[in-house]
Amino acid sequence: MALLKLENLHVALEDGTEIVKGVDLEVDTNEVHAIMGPNGSGKSTLAYALMGHPAYEITEGRLYFDGEDVTEMGADERAQRGLFLAFQYPHAIPGVTVTSFLRSAINAVRKARNNGVDDPIAIPEFRKELLGEMDRLKVSRELASRYLNDGFSGGEKKRVEILQMAMLKPRIAVLDETDSGLDIDALRVVASGVNELVGPEMGALVITHYQRILNYVTPDHVHVFVNGRIVASGGPELAEKLESEGYDPFIPAKVVTEA
């Protein structure tokens, strides 16, 4: 079984509206999967449900991580197992600096992996790693002592999401529209961060509604996502087809209208 496995996953909003309508998908380490779909098709809803956001309920189907059924698990337990989500709209946490946020997140994962016993990272080791990753990802050092995402520009938020990924070293990273709002330099930084981390230790699920980031992160598998479902899967050439033809050929209502 792949590291991350979605089996007939259905997701509903708190009012019961079903948004994700049966998704089967397997993502393994060493693989980049891209999910591409139009606005409002349910991509972020799927991403939130994968992470265990309480407002997005899995109403049918199962979610497996490393062979374990994590469908009913909370976000913290999934994160401790190595699932990571970079948000489309990262929230600000006034009062919590980037540095202290990252250290707590790392220590929570370390504690879980140490059978629930505290095993905090030594501060010099943490600082060395943080500064190294910040330089590598071209995140301004000034951001480290600021409150997380508080007043950050769109590009700064996305870079800090990638910094979190680099520091937490997840096994599967889900990146929701991490490319939107980035200038070309930031896009390259984000893409190279993903490219460097994907390998025997990590796989990635890149969610996007346009092809731009895929010029820098080559997906092994592309899935077209329309109205809560994967309607087509293929290789990187599928992303190019979408770029030239748009989503219309994949939208059932439009096919009917044109017929």
Ligand X SMILES: Nc1ncnc2c1ncn2[C@@H]1O[C@H](COP(=O)(O)OP(=O)(O)OP(=O)(O)O)[C@@H](O)[C@H]1O
Q: Residues interacting with ligand X, by CB under 6 A?
A: 13, 19, 37, 39-45, 55, 88, 177, 209
CA distances from 133 to 14, 111, 230, 239, 241 (A): 38, 22, 35, 30, 35
In the complex, the smallest distance separating the C-beta of residue 185 from ligand X, rounded to whole angstroms, is 23
Q: How many CA atoms lie within 13 A of 48 on its CB side?
A: 19
Which residue in this structure is represented by tokens 């469908």? Answer: 71
Closer CB to ligand X, 16 or 124, in the complex: 16
Distance CA 125, CA 98 (A): 16
- Minimum CB distance to ligand X, residue 131 (Å): 33
User: What does 13 interact with, of Mg ion, ligand X, none (CB < 5 to 8 A by kind)?
Assistant: ligand X
In the complex, what is the shortest distance from the CB of residue 11 to ligand X, in angstroms, rounded to a whole number? 9
The tokens for 104 are: 């707590």
CB of 133 to ligand X, least distance (A): 27
**What torsion do the CA atoms of 144, 148, 154, 155 make, to the nearest 10 degrees?**
30
Q: Which residues bind Mg ion (CB under 5 A)?
A: 43-44, 88
The H helix count followed by the E strand count for the chain is: 8, 12
Among ligand X, Mg ion, none, residue 41 binds (CB under 5-8 Å by kind): ligand X
Closer residue to ligand X, CB minimum distance, 133 or 177: 177
Q: Which residue is nearest to Mg ion (CB)?
A: 44
